[in-house]
Structure 1
C-alpha cells in the first residue's frame, strides 16, 4: 500500500490534522457537513461527519481504494477467485447467502448447490426437532442445545443468537461451550436437563484440541447419565473429516466447507444449524436475506456511497495516517453485547498480520486493537479515558426501534429509550467539540473522532445487514492494506508450544514419580503447582 501515490499524498495531508489546525469542532460546522459525510442505504445508516476527514482527504482515500483495486478484488472474491493465496482457496462466505447466482463452480464443485443441499438438510432436521419427531434417549423432547466450538465456530453465532432472542422467543435455548476450562462445562450442565439437551460439535477438521477435549468430557457426561450419544450428538464439520464418519454415533452430520473461513462462517451450517434450532429455519433464512442485502451493496455501490468501503477507508486513515492504534465499538443496545467479541476475532484475526498477501513483511500498520462495551455502561467504565486520556476512535451503534413496546415510564421528561439515544448523541458530540474550562480537571480537548451506525430494529434482516457490514468492511480494509484477510497462521505458535507442555503433563499422568527436571525453571514451577493443587 505504501508504494501508491495516494498513500504519499495522504501522509502529507495528515500533518494538518495531527497538529490540530483542523479541529473537529470547526469541521462539523462546515456547510452541509452532515449531509456530505453520511450515507443511508436500505435501512442502514453510517455517519462519519465526526471523523477527522475533509473532502480532500476523502478524494485521496478513494484514489487509494482505486490504486489498490479494492472493489475489483471484492468482486473477484464474490465470484470465487482464489483470494486466499497462502492456502490456495477462494473465500466464498457471501455464497452462503447468495440469492442471485444459480451456480458458482469451484474445481467442478457447484458451490451454490452444495450450500443449498446443506440448508435443506438443516431445514428438514430442525423441523423434526421442533415437531418432536426426533427425541432423546429417554423419549423426551429437546429443550436445549449446547454449541461446542471455539473462535469462529461460536462467536458469530452467539452474537446473532443473543441479538435475536430478545425479540424472538427461542424454540430451543442455546448455550455455548467454547473454553476448555472445565468450569465452563460445569456451569453449562447446571442449566440444562441432560435428557433434553442436544450437543452440537463444530470443528472443520474435527481435530481442534480444545473442542475434542470438550467432546470427550461430553461423552463421559452422557455415559454417566445413561444417555446414548447417537441420540444427542450433532456434528458440523468438513466432508470426510473424522467427524463426518457415519460409524460415529450421532443424530446427524452437517458439512462446512474449506472455501468459508471460520470467522466468516455464521451464515453457513456453523450458524445455520444452531440458529435454526433456536428460532426455526425461516428466521435463519430472513437473516441470510439481510446479509445478502449488505453484500450486494458492498459489491455494487459506488465508492462514495459504499458504506463498508467508506468505513474501511476511514479505519485506514485513522490507523496509518493519524496513528490511532485502537477502535472502540459501543452499541447502545444490550442485545448487541456480543457484537464486539465477534468483531474482535473477525477483524484482528483477519488484519493482525505482519506480512502482505505476497508473503513480504509489511512496512505500514495493519489491524488495530478492537474493544468495546454497550452504552451507557461504557460511559461509566472507560469514557473518562475516552474524553480526557489517550484518544481513540469510537464507533457508536444505535437501534431506532427497541423490542420492548409496552408502556414506558417517563423520567426527567423522557422514556428510557429516548434517554439512551440522548446519551449516544451527546457522547459523539462531546468527543468532537470538547469543552473549555479554566479548571484543567474539567477541560476537554475534543477533536476525538467517532462514527455512528444506525439500524432500524433487531429483526433478523437488520442483524444480517450489521453482520455482513463488518465482514465486508474487514475484507475491504484487508485488500486496501495489501493483506490476506482469510488466513490466520498467527494462532499456530502457541498451539505448538502447548503441545510440548501437554506431552510433559501426559507423562506425569502415567508416571506419578516423573519430575519435570528437563524443563526450564518457569515451566517447571507452573507444572509443579498444577499437580500439587495449591500455591
Structure 2
C-alpha cells in the first residue's frame, strides 16, 4: 500500500536532520579528495556518469537518504506512475511521458486504447511524414522541397524541443543527418514572429502548430501572424502547416493542415519532448532515426531509475541529495552549468521542468506544507557563466549548489592546439578547476581574495553529446524532479500557477477591468 505523507511527518527525515554535517572543503582536499572522486560515482548509461564527490554528503548522510527514500516509497510511487495509476491528482490524470519511450511495466490502457501503441503509432506516422518531406514526396505548391521547419508553440511546446534541436544541430551536420533547419516562434510579442519570418524563405518552410487544446491564445495568435505572411507571399497556408494536438481539439480534423499528429492529456507540456511535440520538429530536422536514438537514451535512464538501491539509481540519488540541500542545509537555488555550448538552452528547459513541477506550497491534497519545496533553477553554459554570475556563486552570501555537465569530446570532432592544449581540453580544464575551487576554496589574508569553499556541486560526465546521451540527460532530470515531488508530497504534474495571469489578460483584452488592473492597462495603452 502506498502512503502519501508530508516530508516533515517521516521519521527518517528527522533522523536525516540530525546526521553530522560534512566539511566539504576538508573531505575534498588532498588524497582524501582524490579517493572520494573515484568512489562517489555511479553509471547512468554506458556513456554517462553521475559524480557526486563534491556534494556535502558522506556514508552516514547517504545511508540516511536511502532510509528516507525507502520510507517515502519512491520506487513504489514510480512503479505506480508507469503502471498507469492516477498520479496527477490535481487534474485526475495518468502521467505517461515515460511511456513514449518504452514499456516499463504493465500495459497501460486509457480512453479505450493501449497507450504505448498509441504513442508508437504517432511516432510511426511522424516518421512516414518526415521521410516523405525529405524525399520530396510532400512539397510546396510549386513542387519544391521544404528546407526549413518552424515550430509555433509556447512553454513546453517550445522550451524542450528548442533546447533539444540546438543540442543536436552541430552533431547532425557533422554526422550527415541534418535534413532541415528549425526555427521556433513562441512569444506573443510580434517581434518574435517577425524576426523568424524575416530570416526564412516562407515558400520553402513548413510550420508545426503545437497546441494540445487547440485554443492556446499565444500560439493561435502566432499562427495568424504566420498565415498572414504566407498569404502575403501568395501561398496557400494549408499546404505549409501541420498540427500537433489532441484528437479532440478543433485542429485535429481541420483542412487548414497537411496533417495532424496527436498527443494526449497524460503528458504535460514540460514533459513532452519525447512525444509528438518534440517528435515532429526533431524528425523533420534530423530524421526519424535520430529521434529514435534520442528516445532510446531516455528509455535506458527510465529503466535504471527503477533500481531500489539509491546508490545505483542516479536520478533518485540526485533527487535525494537535492532534498537534503533544500530541506536540511537550507539552500534556496540550484545552478545548472553545462560545459557544452550545444546545451545553451538546456537550463531554460530545466527551469520550466523543475519550477513548474515542484514550485508548489500545498501538498497533493491541497493542504499547505510547512517546508521548502522546489528550488530556484538557473544557469548558462560554461565558460560564459564564469564571466557572469560565478562571482556570486564563489563569494556571495548564499551557498548555491551546482550541477555541472561536461563531455570529454566535442561534437564537431575538430579542434585547434593553442599553448599546448586544444579548445576542448581548455573547456574540460575549466570545469574540473571550478569543481575543486568551489569545494575547497582558497585562504587569503586579503578578505576580498579569500574563498571560503564548501560550495557543493555534482557533475554528469559524458563521452560526447549525441542523440542518445541527450535523451538520457533529459530523462535523468525528469526523473529527478519526479522523485523530489514524491518526497515533498506535491503534485509535480499540474501547473495551476500559470492560469491566473491568463484569465486576467483576457479580462484586459475584453476591457473588463477595474482598480489597479485598469490603471496598468491604461498605462500600456491597451
TM score, norm. by length of structure 2? 0.94
Query: Matches of 1:268 and 1:355 in 2, distance apart?
Result: 29
Per the alignment, in what secondary structure is the counterpart of residue 530 of structure 1? coil
Contact 1:332 1:424 in 2 (8 A): yes
Contact 1:329 1:340 in 2 (8 A): yes
1:287-306 alignment to 2 at 5 Å?
287-300=294-307, 302-306=309-313
Query: Matches of 1:256 and 1:272 in 2, distance apart?
Result: 11
Shift of 1:100: 6.4
Query: Matches of 2:366 and 2:274 in 1, distance apart?
Result: 30
Query: Matches of 2:420 and 2:230 in 1, distance apart?
Result: 55
Structure 2 residue 205 is the aligned partner of structure 1 residue 197: yes
Structure 2 residue 511 is the aligned partner of structure 1 residue 530: no
Structure 2 equivalent of residue 512 of structure 1: none
Structure 2 residue 505 is the aligned partner of structure 1 residue 503: no
1:368-379 alignment to 2 at 5 Å?
368-379=375-386
Structure 2 residue 280 is the aligned partner of structure 1 residue 280: no
- Pick one of 208, 211, 229 that aligns with 2:237: 229
Query: Matches of 2:494 and 2:294 in 1, distance apart?
Result: 26
Contact 2:508 2:517 in 1 (8 A): no
Structure 1 equivalent of residue 336 of structure 2: 329
Structure 2 equivalent of residue 515 of structure 1: none
Query: Matches of 2:403 and 2:315 in 1, distance apart?
Result: 13
TM score, norm. by length of structure 1? 0.93
Per the alignment, in what secondary structure is the counterpart of residue 75 of structure 1? helix
Structure 2 equivalent of residue 520 of structure 1: 515
Per the alignment, in what secondary structure is the counterpart of residue 171 of structure 2? coil
1:391-470 alignment to 2 at 5 Å?
391-406=399-414, 408-470=415-477
Shift of 1:273: 0.6
Structure 2 residue 29 is the aligned partner of structure 1 residue 34: no
Shift of 1:240: 1.6
- Pick one of 330, 335, 348 that aligns with 1:341: 348
1:11-26 alignment to 2 at 5 Å?
11-13=17-19, 16-17=20-21, 22-26=22-26
Which aligned segments of 4 or more residues in structure 1 are displaced greater than 6 angstroms? none
Query: Matches of 1:523 and 1:457 in 2, distance apart?
Result: 53
Structure 1 equivalent of residue 155 of structure 2: 151
Structure 2 residue 196 is the aligned partner of structure 1 residue 188: yes
Structure 1 equivalent of residue 50 of structure 2: 46
Shift of 1:24: 1.1
Query: Matches of 2:162 and 2:342 in 1, distance apart?
Result: 11
Query: Matches of 2:13 and 2:347 in 1, distance apart?
Result: 29
Flag the 1:141–1:312 CA change in 2: closer, same or farther, 3 A: same
Shift of 1:210: 0.6
The alignment's C-alpha RMSD in Å is 1.6
1:117-266 alignment to 2 at 5 Å?
117-169=121-173, 170-246=178-254, 248-266=255-273
Flag the 1:11–1:428 CA change in 2: closer, same or farther, 3 A: same
Shift of 1:521: 5.6
1:347-366 alignment to 2 at 5 Å?
347-366=354-373
- Pick one of 70, 74, 96 that aligns with 2:78: 74
Contact 1:103 1:113 in 2 (8 A): no
Contact 2:55 2:457 in 1 (8 A): yes
Shift of 1:489: 0.6
**Count of aligned residue pairs for this structure pair:** 511
Flag the 1:142–1:348 CA change in 2: closer, same or farther, 3 A: same
Flag the 1:282–1:529 CA change in 2: closer, same or farther, 3 A: closer
Query: Matches of 1:503 and 1:7 in 2, distance apart?
Result: 50
Query: Matches of 1:59 and 1:155 in 2, distance apart?
Result: 37
Shift of 1:522: 6.6
Structure 2 equivalent of residue 267 of structure 1: 274
Shift of 1:431: 0.6
Contact 1:102 1:112 in 2 (8 A): no
Which consecutive residues of structure 2, in runs of 5 or more, have no partner in the other structure? 1-6
Query: Matches of 1:399 and 1:80 in 2, distance apart?
Result: 36
Return 136-145 or 364-373, whichever deviates more.
136-145
Query: Matches of 2:336 and 2:516 in 1, distance apart?
Result: 41
Shift of 1:139: 2.6
Flag the 1:521–1:300 CA change in 2: closer, same or farther, 3 A: closer
Contact 1:376 1:423 in 2 (8 A): yes
Query: Matches of 1:289 and 1:522 in 2, distance apart?
Result: 49
Query: Matches of 1:46 and 1:458 in 2, distance apart?
Result: 15
- Pick one of 476, 480, 483 that aligns with 2:483: 476
Structure 2 residue 61 is the aligned partner of structure 1 residue 57: yes
Query: Matches of 1:196 and 1:101 in 2, distance apart?
Result: 43
Query: Matches of 1:416 and 1:282 in 2, distance apart?
Result: 31
Query: Matches of 1:316 and 1:302 in 2, distance apart?
Result: 17
Query: Matches of 1:282 and 1:301 in 2, distance apart?
Result: 32
Query: Matches of 1:409 and 1:348 in 2, distance apart?
Result: 39
- Pick one of 108, 113, 129 that aligns with 2:112: 108
Query: Matches of 2:318 and 2:520 in 1, distance apart?
Result: 47
Query: Matches of 2:104 and 2:358 in 1, distance apart?
Result: 29
Query: Matches of 2:146 and 2:106 in 1, distance apart?
Result: 36
Shift of 1:88: 1.2
Query: Matches of 1:422 and 1:177 in 2, distance apart?
Result: 36
Shift of 1:70: 0.8
Contact 2:363 2:490 in 1 (8 A): yes
Per the alignment, in what secondary structure is the counterpart of residue 2 of structure 1? helix
